[in-house]
């Protein structure tokens, strides 16, 4: 079977998990979305939906992680990068009818206590984002432990704001979280100021 079928299955899974979560997505829907023959699923993924799911989470996570260099390596400093990141997230969310938020958060909550391979894939993705962000904060002169903490606070603010904003249908939580994220970054850059 052509190996690009395998890629298409992972992409289809990633897209469906992003839009509707892991549990609501059936193998049949993944195969149909990928325009793949049904047998290809178990040919490429003998572990079934869970195996494909872990690969899809890692792929979505890597793609979303590219937002970090996109925003941080083009901005004047980490403060303006943080502001742009949350502003961009708010715009995207509103422009996609409150759908286009974190690609793995729904899966992470759904599987944390039911699938160890999927939980691990989500944990690895979160760690990779923390490392990407932490690297930028360290480069801005923030001590390593504090840089990790700022990265955690940023990701937590973004994930939490997405939960609120998608349900409440307003960008208000994302913009408020963005202002708090900026304050956190500024606080870390000037530790003596409080």
Cα–Cα distance measured from residue 169 to residue 45, given in angstroms and rounded to the nearest whole number? 37
Among 17, 46, 44, which residue's Cα sits nearest to residue 29?
17
- Residue numbers 6-65 binding a second copy by CB under 8 A: 19-21, 23-24
Hey, which residues between 126 and 145 contact a second copy (CB under 8 A)? 126-127
* Contact set for a second copy, span 146-185 (CB under 8 A): 149, 152-153, 155-164, 166-169, 172-173, 176-177, 179-180, 183-184
Q: Which residue has the tokens 């690969």?
A: 55
Determine the distance from the C-alpha atom of residue 3 to the mean position of all C-alpha atoms in its chain, rounded to a whole number: 26
Q: Pick between residue 24 and residue 139 the one whose CB is nearest to a second copy.
A: 24
Give the binding-site size for a second copy (rule: CB under 8 A): 50
Report how far apart, in Å, the C-alpha atoms of 128 and of each of 28, 58, 78, 154 are. Answer: 31, 10, 18, 14
Euclidean distance between CA atoms 177 and 175, whole angstroms:
5
**Integer Cα distance of 73 and 174 in angstroms:** 22
Q: Closer CB to a second copy, residue 64 or residue 98?
A: 98
Report the alpha-carbon distance of residue 178 to residue 98 in Å, rounded.
Answer: 17
Using CB under 8 A as the binding rule, the residues of this chain from 89 to 128 that contact a second copy are 97-99, 105-106, 108-110, 112-114, 119, 122-123, 126-127
Nearest approach, Cβ of 65 to a second copy (angstroms)?
A: 14
- Residues engaged in binding a second copy (CB under 8 A): 19-21, 23-24, 97-99, 105-106, 108-110, 112-114, 119, 122-123, 126-127, 149, 152-153, 155-164, 166-169, 172-173, 176-177, 179-180, 183-184, 186-187, 193-194
């Amino acid at each position: 079977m052509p190996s690009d079928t395998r890629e298409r299955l992972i992409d289809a899974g990633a897209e469906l998990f992003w839009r509707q979560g892991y549990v609501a997505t059936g193998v049949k829907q993944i195969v149909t979305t990928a325009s793949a023959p049904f047998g290809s699923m178990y040919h490429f993924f003998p572990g079934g939906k869970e195996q494909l799911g872990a690969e899809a989470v890692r792929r979505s996570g890597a793609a979303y992680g590219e937002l970090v260099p996109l925003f941080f390596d083009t901005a004047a400093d980490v403060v303006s990068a943080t502001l742009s990141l949350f502003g961009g997230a708010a715009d995207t969310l509103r422009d996609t009818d409150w759908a286009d938020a974190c690609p793995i958060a729904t899966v992470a909550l759904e599987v944390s206590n039911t699938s160890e391979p999927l939980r691990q894939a989500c944990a690895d993705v979160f760690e990779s984002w923390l490392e990407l962000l932490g690297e930028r904060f360290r480069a801005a002169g923030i001590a390593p432990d504090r840089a990790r903490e700022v990265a955690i606070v940023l990701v937590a603010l973004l994930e939490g704001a997405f939960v609120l904003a998608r349900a409440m249908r307003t960008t208000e939580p994302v913009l408020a979280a963005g202002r708090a994220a900026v304050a956190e970054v500024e606080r870390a850059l000037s530790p003596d100021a409080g």
